[in-house]
Amino acid sequence: MISFPLQPKIVEKKGNWARFEIEALYPGYGVTIGNSLRRVLLSSLPGAAVTQMKIKGVPDEFSTIPGVLEDVIFIMQNLKQMRFKVYGDEPQRASLKVKGEKEVKGSDFKWPTQVELVNKDCHIATLTKKNAELEIEIQIEKGVGYVPREMRKKEKLEIGTILLDAIFSPIKRVSFEVENIRVGERTDFDKLFLDIETDGTMLPQEVLGQAGEILVKHFSLISETFKKEEKKAEEPERDLTKIKIEDLKISTRTQNSLLENNIKTLAGLLKKREQDLSTLKGIGPKAVKEIKKALQKIDLTLKK
Sign of CA dihedral 286, 291, 294, 297: negative
Tens of pLDDT, residue by residue over 50-64, are 999 999 999 888 989
In a shared domain, residues 141 and 111: yes
Residue 129 lies in a domain: yes
Rounded average pLDDT over 207-226: 92
Domain that includes residue 281, residue range: 240-297
Regarding whether 50 and 163 lie in a shared domain, the answer is yes
Conformational region of residue 67, where left means phi above 0, alpha means psi within -120 to 50, and beta covers everything else: left
| Residue 142 pLDDT > 60 | yes
**pLDDT at res. 22:** 97
Asked if residue 189 belongs to a domain, the reply is: yes
Q: Are residues 97 and 189 in the same domain?
A: no
Average of pLDDT values for 208-225? Answer: 93
Residue 22 within a domain: yes
With a pLDDT cut of 70, the percent of the chain lying above it is: 95
| Residue 144: how many other CB atoms lie within 10 Å | 13
pLDDT for the residue 239:
72
Average predicted confidence (pLDDT) for the chain:
91
Residues 41 and 78 in one domain: no
Does any domain span residue 302? no
- The residues, any chain, with a CB within 8 Å of residue 262's CB and separated by 6 or more, are 268
For the stretch 226-262, pLDDT in tens is 876 666 665 556 677 678 898 888 999 999 999 999 9
Is 2 a member of any domain?
A: no
Give the pLDDT band of residue 151 (cuts 50, 70, 90): confident
Closest CA to 82 of 128, 121, 27: 121
Banded pLDDT at 304 (limits 50, 70, 90)? confident
Q: In the listed set 213, 231, 249, which residue is the last one of a domain according to the structure?
A: 231
Residue 4 domain-assigned (yes or no): no
Who's near 220: CB < 8 A, 6+ residues apart? none
Instruction: Encode pLDDT of 70-82 as tens digits.
Output: 999 999 999 999 9
Is there a single domain that holds both residue 266 and residue 221? no
Instruction: Return the CATH number at 152.
Output: 2.170.120.12
What pLDDT was estimated at residue 28?
A: 95
Q: Which of 15-29, 124-138, 188-202, 250-264 has the lowest mean pLDDT?
A: 250-264
**Domain containing residue 266: CATH number:** 1.10.150.20
Q: What share of the chain is helix, strand, coil (3-state, %, to 5)?
A: 35, 30, 35
57 & 154 share domain: yes
- The predicted-structure confidence for 71-111, as pLDDT tens digits, reads as follows 999 999 999 999 999 999 999 999 999 999 999 999 999 99
* Number of domains into which the chain is organized: 3
Is there a domain that residue 279 lies in?
yes
Provide mean pLDDT across the span 182-187. 90
Based on the domain organization, do 178 and 31 belong to the same domain?
A: yes
Residues 88 and 129 placed together within one structural domain of the fold: yes
**Between the CA of residue 95 and those of 53, 73, 98, 109, what are the distances in Å?**
10, 18, 10, 5
Judgement on whether residues 213 and 291 belong to the same structural domain of the protein: no
**What is the CB neighbour count within 10 angstroms for residue 254?**
20
Give the model's pLDDT for residue 238: 66
For the segment 134-139, the average pLDDT, to the nearest whole number, is 96
Q: Do 128 and 153 belong together in one domain?
A: yes
Residues 51 and 155 in one domain: yes
Confidence at residue 123, expressed as pLDDT on a 0 to 100 scale: 97
Q: Which of 149, 167, 185 is the last residue of a domain?
A: 167
Average pLDDT estimate for 273-282: 89
Is 40 in the same domain as 182?
A: yes
**Does 153 score more than 80 pLDDT?**
no
